[in-house]
């Protein structure tokens, strides 16, 4: 086993364990999050993003930079975001949670996983048609918040304030349970 | 029963610190983590022996490593982590989730068909965008990328509207 496989399995075990413990592998809890009945999972996700951003900025300042920013395509990212949200709202799973939920013993997650393999295979088959049609013409490039604010520090401040406000908003607006 | 288990879930803030710790570890030891890529790695491994020229020439498989990679090891690890977590802490596991049952009855076939359709959509969409909840929203936003933040707004918004359409009629009966 190469080091990458050991690292991948270890990271996956920790990740799958944590998302089960917070309830994110339960499609019922995910549906309650989407219905604004339980605020915990979206608050967990957004707070993890804020803390990860601070950690990754720390890694960068220590000279470890493995970041790779994906481009923003107004065509592909928009269509994909809406399709993804419809699928997520329908089944209560996202690609990562299907694996952890299947391991947890959820039968419907196995069907979501099988559907995911089919969806991925269909997209791969259509890649040559869809990427030039939907992605490339509307590709704005690898933009970050710093491209808007002008400096990495002001970007981080704006980012933390924005996501922090979103976490606060969710805790205020979602019904308490 | 379900109400009793609720208190056993980790607090969202503690879980957020734990998840961020793992994400930073992954960035330090590998690079941006992703989940939907693992599906492509698995498919590539399955297709390569059957149709080697298709797996080589299809640009989507060509740009992704096969199953002997961090990406596939990670999703396999997620299943192992879910298994270990499920054995040591009994969250309610139902073939047909309670909210779904209130709305559509206890038919397993209906639930499994919806799960398959939802799974199809999330992976098709992830591959179009270049990443999923983890690979684009969480990894991307943690790097302050506009694509990740924009994708996050859209997936939460569309999922909230969809959940209201799917569950709308029984929304207020429970809880």
**Three-state SS string across A112-126, please?**
HHHHHHHHHHHHHHH
Q: Is the pLDDT of residue A19 over 70?
A: yes
Contact yes or no for A144 and B71 at CB 8 A: no
What mean pLDDT comes out for the span B129-135? 97
What mean pLDDT comes out for the span A123-143? 97
Q: What is the pTM of this model?
A: 0.95
Q: How many CB pairs under 8 A join A and B?
A: 488
Q: How far is B49 from chain A (nearest CA, A)?
A: 16
| pLDDT for position B158 | 98
Exposed/middle/buried for B101, CB within 10 Å: 0-12, 13-18, 19+? middle
B49 lies within 8 A of chain A by CB = no
Same domain (yes/no): B27, B62: yes
Same domain (yes/no): B120, B134: yes
The Cα A94–Cα A116 span in angstroms is 9
Nearest CB to B79; choose among A16, A45, A53: A16
User: What string of DSSP letters covers chain B?
Assistant: -HHHHHTTSPPHHHHHHHHHHHHHHHHHHTSS--SHHHHHHHHHHHHHHH-HHHHHHSHHHHTS--SSSHHHHHHHHHHHHHHHHHHHS-----SS-HHHHHHH-S-HHHHHHHHHHHHHHHHHHHHHHT--IIIIIIHHHHTTBHHHHHHHHHHHHHHHHHHHHHHGGGTTT--
Domain boundary among B74, B93, B112: B93
- Select from B34, B48, B44, B36 the least CA-distant residue to B65: B44
Same domain (yes/no): B133, B73: no
Percentage of residues in chain A having pLDDT higher than 70: 98
pLDDT digits (tens, 9 = 90+) for B10-21: 999 999 999 999
What tokens does A72 get? 């923003």
| pLDDT for position B137 | 98
Contact yes or no for A17 and B146 at CB 8 A: no
Same domain (yes/no): B99, B172: yes
What domain count does chain B have? 2
B32: left (phi over 0), alpha (psi -120 to 50) or beta: beta
Contact yes or no for A116 and B39 at CB 8 A: yes
Same domain (yes/no): B89, B105: no
In the block, which residue shows the tokens 């038919």? B107
The domain of B134 spans 95-175
| pLDDT for position B57 | 96
| pLDDT for position A176 | 67
Q: How far is A161 from chain B (nearest CA, A)?
A: 13
Neighbours of B109 (CB within 10 A): 8
| pLDDT for position A167 | 98
In which band, very low, low, confident or very high, does the pLDDT at B150 lie, cut at 50, 70 and 90? Answer: very high
Q: Which residue of A has its CA nearest to B35?
A: A96
Q: Which residues contact A6 (CB under 8 A, 6 or more apart)?
A: B73
In which band, very low, low, confident or very high, does the pLDDT at B92 lie, cut at 50, 70 and 90? Answer: confident
* Mean pLDDT, chain B, integer: 93
| pLDDT for position A90 | 98
Q: Which residue of B has its CA nearest to A154?
A: B144
Neighbours of B46 (CB within 10 A): 15
Same domain (yes/no): B58, B143: no
Same domain (yes/no): B28, B79: yes
What mean pLDDT comes out for the span A42-61? 98
Domain boundary among B93, B124, B152: B93
| pLDDT for position B174 | 46
Q: Is the pLDDT of residue B5 over 80?
A: no
In the block, which residue shows the tokens 């693992």? B38
Contact A99, B39 (CB under 8 A): no
The CA-CA-CA angle for residues A34, A38, A39, to 5°, reads 90
Same domain (yes/no): B3, B62: yes
Q: How far is A163 from chain B (nearest CA, A)?
A: 10
| pLDDT for position B172 | 52
In the block, which residue shows the tokens 């989507």? B60
Same domain (yes/no): B101, B66: no
B81 lies within 8 A of chain A by CB = yes
Same domain (yes/no): B17, B68: yes
Nearest CB to A16; choose among B9, B85, B129: B85
Residues in chain A within 8 Å Cβ distance of B145: 69-70, 72, 142-144
What tokens does B27 get? 């960035």
What mean pLDDT comes out for the span A130-142? 97
Domain boundary among B93, B116, B145: B93
In which band, very low, low, confident or very high, does the pLDDT at B91 lie, cut at 50, 70 and 90? Answer: confident
Same domain (yes/no): B79, B29: yes
Q: How far is A172 from chain B (nearest CA, A)?
A: 15
| pLDDT for position B149 | 98
Contact A29, A38 (CB under 8 A): yes
Same domain (yes/no): B9, B80: yes
| pLDDT for position B175 | 43
């Amino acid at each position: 086993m190469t080091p990458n496989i050991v690292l991948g399995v270890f990271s996956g075990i920790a990740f799958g364990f944590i998302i089960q413990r917070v309830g994110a592998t339960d499609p019922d809890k995910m549906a309650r999050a989407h219905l604004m009945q339980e605020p915990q999972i979206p608050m967990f996700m957004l707070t993890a993003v804020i803390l990860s951003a601070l950690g990754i900025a720390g890694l960068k300042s220590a000279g470890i930079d493995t970041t790779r920013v994906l481009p923003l395509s107004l065509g592909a990212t928009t269509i994909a975001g809406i399709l993804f949200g419809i699928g997520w709202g329908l089944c209560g799973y996202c690609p990562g949670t299907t694996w952890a939920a299947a391991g947890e013993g959820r039968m419907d997650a196995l069907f979501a996983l099988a559907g995911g393999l089919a969806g991925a295979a269909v997209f791969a088959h259509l890649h040559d048609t869809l990427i030039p049609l939907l992605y490339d013409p509307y590709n704005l490039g690898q933009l970050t918040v710093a491209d808007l604010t002008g400096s990495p520090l002001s970007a981080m401040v704006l980012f933390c304030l924005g996501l922090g406000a979103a976490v606060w908003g969710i805790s205020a607006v979602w019904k308490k349970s | 029963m379900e109400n009793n288990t609720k208190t056993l879930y980790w607090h969202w803030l503690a879980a957020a610190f734990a998840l961020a710790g793992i994400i930073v570890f992954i960035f330090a030891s590998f690079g941006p983590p992703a989940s939907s890529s693992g599906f492509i790695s698995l498919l590539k491994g399955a297709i390569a022996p059957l149709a080697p020229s298709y797996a080589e020439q299809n640009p989507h498989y060509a740009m992704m490593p096969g199953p002997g990679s961090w990406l596939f090891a990670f999703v396999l690890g997620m299943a192992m982590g879910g298994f270990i977590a499920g054995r040591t802490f009994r969250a309610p596991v139902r073939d047909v989730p309670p909210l779904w049952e209130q709305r559509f009855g206890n038919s397993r076939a209906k639930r499994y068909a919806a799960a398959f359709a939802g799974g199809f959509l999330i992976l098709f969409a992830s591959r179009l965008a270049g990443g999923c909840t983890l690979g684009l929203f969480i990894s991307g936003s943690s790097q302050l990328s506009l694509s990740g933040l924009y994708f996050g707004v859209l997936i939460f918004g569309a999922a909230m509207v969809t959940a209201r359409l799917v569950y709308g009629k029984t929304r207020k009966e429970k809880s």
